[in-house]
Each structure stands twice: as C-alpha cells, then as structure tokens.
Chains A and B, each alone.
Chain A
C-alpha cells in the first residue's frame, strides 16, 4: 500500500504525506505511537486477559477430564470388585446349597434305611407271629381231634361196655384199693 501510495504520489506529483492527509511528519509519528499504544493496550487489556481466561478454562477442563478419568477408573474398579463379590457370593451360595442338599440326601438315606429296618423288623415279627399262630392252630386242631376221639371212644364204650366188662373194671379197681 505504501508502495502504491508512493507511486500514486509520484504519479500525482505530490508528497506522500500530503496524500495521507498529514501536514507534518510528526503526525505520522504521533499516529504510529498511537497505534503502538492501542495495540499495546489491546494486548494488555484484551488479549492477555482473554488468553489467561482461556488458559484457565483449559486447565479447568483438563482438571475435569482428569477427575473424570479418575472417577471412571474408580468406577471400573468398583464394578470389578462388585462382580467378584457377586461371583463369590453365588459360588458360596451354590456350595452351601450343595452342602445342604448333600446333608438332606444323607438324612434322607438315613431315614430310608431306618424305615427299611423297621419294615424288616415288622415283617420278621409278623412272620414269627404267623408261625406261632400256625403252631397254635395246629395244636388246637390236634386237641380238638383228640377231644373228639375221646368223646367218640366214650360214646362207643358207653354203648359197647357189657356188664361183664363193667364187673371186670370194678374188680380191678377194688383190687388196687384193697392194698
């Protein structure tokens, strides 16, 4: 632009300063200094605070991200711990249930064995009773037969014993009682 101005000034035949509207070279300096002051002021009042703010924001964000990372890690660890605890609890519960089942099975076996023994005892007692009953009935039957035989013998004797036989019996008895 400067070059363009210079050329323009050369072409126009006037001085650069005149073309810029400046009467005095000191004014250029003045404007330059102004510019420097402005830029400096902008830097100090705007650029630097903004940069500071941005940096602070960046730090805050970094801290947040770090915190987040840390929390995620902790959460993951906790999750693993809980999963492990659940697995352990499940395993222990299963073992306990298995143990209880085994104990129950054992107890059931005991109960069954006891019931079987009792049943065997009952059967044995019943068999013995049946044998005794059979024997008793057999004896009863024998006695009944004997009683019947004796009764029949008595009836026959009653009918068949003659007076001579009777006399003989009385003689024998008296012979025994004489002594």
Chain B
C-alpha cells in the first residue's frame, strides 16, 4: 500500500486533512493510499507532500528559497 507523507508547519485540522486526502486520492484512483502526517516547524508554513518519491512543496521555506535563488 502506498504511503503519502504530509508535512506541515503546525498540526492540521481534520477538515484540512480531508481536503488533502480528497485531492490526492483523485490522483491515485483505484488505490487507497495511506496518509502519514508529520509536523516540522522548519517549513515555517504551508505544507509539503511526498507522494511516491514526488515532492509537492507548498511550504513557505521553499518559497523563501526560491526568492533567494532569484536574488542570486
């Protein structure tokens, strides 16, 4: 069974979790992936999802990093 890791800066509400699971279940139609939730204050805000080696990075940290690269 596939496991999808969800990392957030703060604990997510149940409604938010359902929203996330709805979006990603649609990507995995026919399968029932398991969702693993983790909290990492390092990402500051937003979420980061790791789906079978694919990274979906919606964290504030990544946006700051992109800004740094653009400034360079």
Contact = CB atoms under 8 A, between A and B. Distances in A.
Contact of A150 (B9, B24, B56, B64): B64
A11 interface: no
Contacts of B9: 161, 166
B62 to A, nearest CB: 10
A178 B41 CA distance: 25
Most chain A C-beta atoms within 10 Å of own C-beta, residue among B20, B23, B44, B65: B44
Chain B contact patch, size range: 20 to 34
Contacts of B65: 150
A178 B21 CA distance: 11
A165 interface: yes
Q: Is the interface of A mostly helix, strand, loop or mixed?
A: helix
Interface residues of A, number: 21
B23 A178 contact: yes
Contact of B23 (A146, A154, A177): A177
A130 to B, nearest CB: 24
Contact of A157 (B19, B20, B58, B60): B60
Given A143-B72, A153-B67, A154-B44, 5 more contacts: A154-B61, A158-B45, A170-B16, A174-B19, A177-B58
